[in-house]
Amino acid sequence: MAEAALSSVAKPAAQGDSREKVLRRFELGDQAFHVLTKTCAIAVLLLLGGVIFSLIHGSIPALQKFGFGFLTSQAWNPVTENFGAAPAIYGTLVTSIIALAIAVPLGLGIAVFLTELCPYTLRRPIGIAVELLAGIPSIIYGIWGMFILAPFLQEHVQPAIIATFANVPLLNQLFSGPPYGIGIATAGLILSIMILPLISSISRDVFETVPTVLKESAFGIGCTRWEVIRNIVAPYTGVGLVGGIMLALGRALGETMAVTFVIGNAHKIAPSILGPGTTISATIANEFTEADGAIYTSSLITLGLLLFIITFIVLSISRLLLMRIESQGAR
């Protein structure tokens, strides 16, 4: 009986020790997970800080020589080491705006069709076909644009556009000059095709988050399909749509190879979007291997810094828009 009593006392003690070991192991695991995630977050910040520091440090020689005139100058002469970023900034912004102007309506239209109008059996095949465009490498877009799209535009599209707006004030300057085929407009068109899958897929996903009961209630009180899309679907998904468009804009701002093939790589600002131009990424890709002087290299690094700043500003504006939309929706 004494042995039975001792064993009954030992079992709870052993169970208590086992429970403490398990809790201790869980605590150590939580601490390790906390340290791991914190390390990853700090590593990202250090990596971002290192990139910013490298860009600023490499830009100092060019900024010391040219100052803020680097942003407004159109010069780009490696022989005399006279450089300016205005044409590259202009081309980057204009091609991105053209791409958004084309891709946003098309992407939203595709998303509306797939979620509201398309027969159920065709939604998946059409959606996959659109998303396949995102899997095509950018250099393939560039080759296709240079050898197929640009000659077609030069022969059939641009002459008609130039003739149509020849007598229209302002537009005759925007669409003027000889039909090169390549140029800022062609680069913007290529970019629109590249960002179209991103806009359409994100828009489709956010449209599908709209509760069915909201749409059925609207149909029940006599709203048309267009009224449901405009007054129910669009306001409910506004935050997601803005986020998708800004992601697409970020992709367009930094695209390199496809733009390099079709933009013409002319370091100048022309009033016509049909003429050749350049972008920040295209200039860096074309000339970085040939940069043999300190000022030349520093000027290209400064272009990279400017692209970083432009992207940061775009993302900041998108966050402000999202916060404003969210605050209005919470009221």
Kindly list the distances between the CA atom of residue 78 and the CA atoms of 46, 130, 202, 291, 301, in Å, as whole numbers in the listed order. Answer: 34, 43, 43, 8, 15
pTM of the model: 0.85
> d(Cα 331, Cα 329) in Å, to the nearest integer?
6
pLDDT of 258 higher than 80: yes
Percent of the residues in the chain that have a pLDDT greater than 70, as a whole number: 92
Asked whether the beta carbons of 247 and 311 are under 8 A apart, the reply is: no
Kindly list the distances between the CA atom of residue 1 and the CA atoms of 5, 9, 13, 138, in Å, as whole numbers in the listed order. Answer: 6, 13, 19, 83
Identify the DSSP state of 77: E
Token pair recorded at residue 231: 């007054």
- Bridge partners, 264 (sequence order): 277
Asked whether the beta carbons of 214 and 188 are under 8 A apart, the reply is: no
Looking at residue 172, what is its pLDDT?
A: 87
> d(Cα 175, Cα 162) in Å, to the nearest integer?
6
Asked whether the beta carbons of 277 and 266 are under 8 A apart, the reply is: yes
139-177 per-position pLDDT tens digit: 899 999 999 999 999 999 999 999 999 888 888 888 988
Confidence band for 331, pLDDT divided at 50, 70 and 90: low
Looking at residue 7, what is its pLDDT?
A: 52
- Helix, strand, coil percent values for the chain (each to nearest 5): 80, 0, 20
pLDDT of 99 higher than 60: yes
Token pair recorded at residue 175: 């669409």
Looking at residue 328, what is its pLDDT?
A: 57
| DSSP characters over 108-170 | HHHHHIIIIIS-HHHHHHHHHHHHHGGGS-HHHHHHHIIIIIHHHIIIIIHHHHHHHTTTSTT
**Which amino acid does the sequence have at 326?**
E
Asked whether the beta carbons of 249 and 316 are under 8 A apart, the reply is: no
Give me the residue label for tokens 């910040």: 45
The residue ranges of DSSP E strands in 192-251, in sequence order, are none
> d(Cα 238, Cα 106) in Å, to the nearest integer?
17
Looking at residue 289, what is its pLDDT?
A: 80
**Which amino acid does the sequence have at 1?**
M
- Please, what's the largest Cα pairwise distance for the chain? 114
